[in-house]
Every structure is written in structure tokens, then in C-alpha cells.
Structure 1
Amino acid sequence: MQSMTYSTHPKIFEEKAELLKVLGHPVRLCIVKNLIEQKSANVTQIQNCLKTPQSTISQHLAKLRTAGIIEGRREGTEVHYSVVDEKVKRLIEALFS
């Protein structure tokens, strides 16, 4: 059996591992999955779904934003979040199929 070799730069593996770390927390995974299903939601809607304090949700949303997985769109006094990373959408779809 021939072994596979990867000519990919190690930086790619570091980036993918970092993405998995961000998604590896149950609350963040739940947020992303729900945002994909609902297309978009504000913090209150996310909080009601998860039964988690708003401050906790906000901390997790900040990590997801920093990682480039989600973005917020201001509508009046509310911010509506949605998943913008197509790779993450495919990954979550595969994970939950």
C-alpha cells in the first residue's frame, strides 16, 4: 500500500486546527448550527434558543466574529448575526448529516 504524502504547507493545517478549536465548544457549535438553519438571528433569539445568559452568548459571538465565521448586521438597535464562511456551512452540514 502506497502512503499518501501531503505537499500542503504546515500553515494550512494550523489554520484548519484553529477553525476546529473555535467550533469545538458546544455553545459555539450550537450557535453556528442554529444560525445556519435560521439564516440570521439576534442575541435575544440565540439566548432564548440556548437558555444561556446573554453575556455568555456575546462572548461566544465575539470569538466566532473574530474567526471570520459570522458577521453582524445592524438593524436599528439590534444586531443580526449570520454565518458567512461557506466552508463552515459545509462542515456543519457534514457533521450533522
Structure 2
Amino acid sequence: MDNNINRYTEAAEILKVLAHPVRLCIVSGLLEKGECNVNYMHSCLKAPQSTVSQHLQKLKAAGIIEGRREGLEIYYRVSDERVADLIRILTKEVD
């Protein structure tokens, strides 16, 4: 039973991090595009760059996304396939 509670605790933490419209939008956009940088997300979301960066840090700290540096830019992508599956289910259009 203890092993299951740890799994549920981890799942709950991931859901807490995802429980914000901007973070859901970021993850969904990354899945659609593959990877992108803060400037691209900033223009798509119409949110201040600092706000986007704060949300990215929360997603990164939770292990949901990861970044790779290219010069001065960091390009982010979804690194947790469970989250990718979850977002695809949540954003799927119902017939």
C-alpha cells in the first residue's frame, strides 16, 4: 500500500503544477510545436515574458519540461511522456 500512496502523491504533485491555464497552454503548445523558446511562448500567450518564465520554472522544477541552451536562448520541450498523454487526453476535442 505504501508504494501506491507514493505513486499517488507524485501524480497529485504533477496535477497541482498543471492546474493553471497558462501552464496547460504552455505544455499543450510544446507538444504541438515540439520545442520553443520563451520569446515564442510570450508572443503566443500574450503574457509578459516574466510571467511565462515563472510558469516555465514551475514546470521544469516538477520535471514536466526540460530545456536545452542554444546560444543565449533556451528551447523547452515536454520531457514526461505521462504528462504528454494526459494533456492530449484533456485537450482532445469531443465529437
TM-score, with structure 2 as normaliser? 0.91
More helix by share: 2
- Matched pairs, number: 92
- Indicate the RMSD between aligned Cα atoms, in angstroms: 1.3
Unaligned runs of 5+ in 1: 1-5
Deviations 1:38-67 (A, max 9, x none): 000100000000000000011000000000
TM-score, with structure 1 as normaliser? 0.90
Between the two structures, name the one with larger relative contact order (CA 8 Å, sep ≥ 6). 2
Between the aligned partners of 1:9 and 1:36, the Cα distance in structure 2 is 29
CA positional deviation for 1:13: 1.1
SS at match of 1:45: helix
Unaligned runs of 5+ in 2: none
Q: Aligned residue for 1:3?
A: none
Q: Aligned residue for 1:88?
A: 83
CA positional deviation for 1:9: 2.2
CA positional deviation for 1:8: 5.4
Between the aligned partners of 1:22 and 1:52, the Cα distance in structure 2 is 18
Q: Aligned residue for 1:67?
A: 62
Instruction: Give the fraction of aligned pairs with identical amino acids, expressed as a percent.
Output: 55
2:19 maps to a residue whose letter is G
